[in-house]
Amino acid sequence: MYNPTDTNSLIANRRSVYPKQYNGTPVADAIVEQMLENANWAPTHGRTEPWRFVVFTGTGLEQLADLFQRNYKENTPAESYDEGKYEKQRESILQSSHVIAIIMKRQEIEKIPEVEEVSAVACAVQNMWLTATAYSIGTYWSTGGPTFKHQGKAFFNLGEKDKLLGFLYVGNYDGDLLAGTRKPIADKVQWVK
C-alpha cells in the first residue's frame, strides 16, 4: 500500500531548514493545516493527545517577535545586555511564513508519566516535519527564546504542569539542501537474538 523506498527517502531527506534560508514566499495555510492534521495522528499513551499548537502568521508574527524581545530584555543581566541582540530577536520570526508554538498539555490526573507526554508531542512534531518535507517546505524546531522561561508560559497561558517545548519555524526555500549526516546506526544498536 505504501512505497517503502519513498518513505525511507522522505525520512532521510528531512532536514532542518532555518529562517535565514527562507525566501519570503508565504506557505499556504492549507499546507500548515495538513501538517497539523498529521500531527494529530501521533501515537499517544492513554489517548491523552497532549499536543497543543499555536500558529503565528502574517501580522500575528509581530506578537511572537514582541514576546522574544521582552523575554530577552527580562532575562538578560544589564552587564551582558546588547541592543543588537535585542533587535535580532525578531529576525528569525519575521523571516518565517508561519511559526508554530509547540506545547505539551499535562493531563489533569497525571496518570501518564510526563516523559511519555513529551515523547508523544515530539512524535507529533516529527509528523509535521515529515509532512513539510513531502511538500518541499522548510521547517526547523527551535528551543530558543522563551521556550523554557516563565515569559513563555505566561504568554501561552499555560498551567504549572504544562510545557512549552519550542517553536517550529516554517518557510519556503529555494534550491537544494545539504545532505544530512549521522553516525552509523550500528554503533547505537544491540541486537539480542
| Closest distance to ligand FMN from the beta carbon of 183 (Å) | 12
Indicate the residue among 47 and 182 with the shorter CB distance to ligand FMN.
Answer: 182
CB 139 within 8 A of CB 169: yes
Indicate whether 15 belongs to the interface with ligand FMN (CB under 6 A). yes
Which cell is 106 given?
499535562
CA distance 100 to 40: 14
CA distance 189 to 118: 23
Indicate the residue among 48 and 138 with the shorter CB distance to ligand FMN.
Answer: 138
Which cell is 74 given?
527580562
CA distance 161 to 104: 9
Helix (H) or strand (E) holding 38: helix 29-39
- Binding to ligand FMN by CB under 6 A, coded x per residue (else -) over 91-120, reads ------------------------------
Within residues 116-155, the interface with ligand FMN by CB under 6 A covers: 140-144
| Closest distance to ligand FMN from the beta carbon of 132 (Å) | 12
Residues that bind ligand FMN (CB under 6 A): 15-16, 140-144, 166, 180
